[in-house]
Amino acid sequence: MFGSLKALPADPILGLLAKYREDSNPNKIDLGVGVYKNEAGHTAILGCVKKAEKYRHDNEDTKVYIGPAGSPLFNNEMSKLIFGSHKVLIENRARTVSTPGGTGALRVAAEFIKSCKAGATIWVSNPTWANHTGLFQAAGLTVKTYPYYDYENKSLDFDGMLAALKEVSADDAVLLHACCHNPSGMDLTNEQWQQVAEIAKAKAWLPVVDMAYQGFGDGLDEDAYGLRLMADSVEEMIVCSSCSKNFGLYRERIGATTIIANSAANADIANSVLLSVVRCIYSMPPAHGAALVETILHSDELRQQWHVELKEMRDRINGNRQVIVDKLIENGVTRDFSFITRQKGMFSFLGITPEQVQRLQDEFSIYMVGSSRMSIAGIAPTNIDYLAQSIAKIL
């Protein structure tokens, strides 16, 4: 049976990471992988996570299954983190299950949508996270795109986006990035969210909001503004969230899928389908990451420490945006790169050609995706001058 298989190409980002690791240049810079790094280039464990791990080590007394939905405390705390004091929680219209990371949350959402309508269509932004298309198609959904990023003007193609969303059918789903758009870093303003929410209500398509970076843009509540506004406008909605970035729990693989229905009774029905989806994919979610998150969010002390550590990460990323623009100017670059400071989150399109991206890799050992998407967190005081000088040379 295996003899009919043909080798598939490696994931571009994972392949880039392998090349970076093999590179012997002491000045090499990794701007490809989407993980937060401190100024020393290290992805350290947060202090609040260390304390939560100690608490778990001292108090855990069983390794029994936690059920398909995961920990009720985690699900409750995540619902509050996502929605705050929103009416969907007051009206008991939201149901949350824990998942193996944000990718697991998206796949659960995709299978849930397929349960609602076989062969359903989901619309994603152009561009979007590279894995969105593959995981939705693997679940049997049809994937279409709507305009989003204006590559020429380094801005949001909002008019094109609105025009496309007005044509989406009522039985389709639309994927929206809550904040820190991956890969462009270009987010909707509060006013633009209002217009998108009005279209979603009028056309009655299903919003599916991917929130992988809550707290990395402007703040925890600020980054959830759009999805909360959307929840004000529509009766049904799905939110896929991740704890990988904002808690630094990348390898623990913990995320959540939240379903909003138009009533508590219908939320229970939807939840029964959601649990069936989970049961058929991985049966029970992992417990460790969820236990750490719920311990932090349920403790006033640890939650406050997390807020401080999260702000430090956010401020460093935002600071790096201004630093790279300033350093390029210092090195005589006349092209306008100020758009980088108007973007949010981990990523930005540098706006150079694939050939120039390849030159950065071949001549200077600077690694980024061929689209020129770079991880802003990979910039550090020790490499910023070399990075700016190298970019100036290939320009």
CA-based angle 242:243:244, to the nearest 5? 95
Predicted pLDDT of residue 75: 98
**Residue 13: per-residue pLDDT:** 79
| Residue 17 confidence class, pLDDT cut points 50, 70, 90 | confident
Taken in order 256, 259, 264, 267, the sign of the CA dihedral is: negative
Tokens representing residue 310 in the block: 């999260």
Q: How far apart are CA 200 and CA 186, in angstroms?
A: 20
User: Annotated active-site positions, please?
Assistant: 129, 210, 245
By the 10 Å C-beta count (0-12 exposed, 13-18 middle, 19+ buried), 355 is classed as exposed
What confidence score (pLDDT) does residue 11 get? 79
Over range 138-155, report the average pLDDT.
Answer: 97
HSE of 389 in the Cβ direction (CA atoms, 13 Å)? 10
Q: What domains sit in the chain, N to C, each tagged with a CATH number? A: 10-44+314-394 (3.90.1150.10), 65-298 (3.40.640.10)
Nearest to 375 by CA among 20, 67, 30, 24: 30
The pLDDT tens digits for 76-114 are 999 999 999 999 999 999 999 999 999 999 999 999 999
> What is the dihedral angle through the alpha carbons of 318, 324, 325, 328, rounded to the nearest 10 degrees?
180
pLDDT at position 10: 76
Sign of CA dihedral 292, 295, 298, 300: negative
Mean residue pLDDT across the chain:
96
Compute the C-alpha angle 317/187/179, nearest 5°.
Answer: 65
Q: pLDDT at residue 33 above 90?
A: no
Place of tokens 């790279």: 324
Residue 133 has a pLDDT of 97
Q: Which stretches of the chain are assigned E, i.e. beta strand?
A: 29-30, 94-99, 121-126, 142-147, 149-150, 155-156, 173-177, 206-211, 237-242, 255-260, 347-349, 366-367, 373-375
Q: First-to-last CA distance in the chain?
A: 51
Q: Which tens digits make up the pLDDT trace of 38-86?
A: 999 899 999 999 999 999 999 999 999 999 999 999 999 999 999 999 9
For strand 373-375 and strand 347-349, is the pairing parallel, antiparallel, or unpaired? Answer: antiparallel
- Tokens describing residue 140: 């049997």
Residue 196 in 3-state DSSP?
Answer: helix
When pLDDT is cut at 50, 70 and 90, the band that residue 12 belongs to is confident
Q: What is the mean pLDDT of residues 10-30?
A: 89
Which of the four pLDDT bands, split at 50, 70 and 90, describes residue 126?
very high
Residue 369 tokens, joined = 């995706």
Q: Are strands 121-126 and 173-177 parallel, antiparallel or unpaired?
A: parallel
231 band by pLDDT with thresholds 50, 70 and 90: very high
Looking at the predicted structure, is the pLDDT value of residue 208 above 90? yes
Distance CA 289, CA 292 (A): 5
- Mean pLDDT calculated for residue range 138-154: 97
Distance (Å, rounded) from C-alpha 332 to C-alpha 327? Answer: 9
| Closest to 52 in 3D by CA, of 249, 212, 310 | 249
Structure tokens at 205: 């398509």
146 has a pLDDT exceeding 80? yes
- At 230, the pLDDT band (50, 70, 90 cuts) reads very high
372 Cβ partners below 8 Å, 6+ apart? 349, 350, 351, 352, 353, 354, 356, 357
The helix, strand and coil proportions of the chain, stated in percent and rounded to the nearest 5, come to: 50, 15, 35
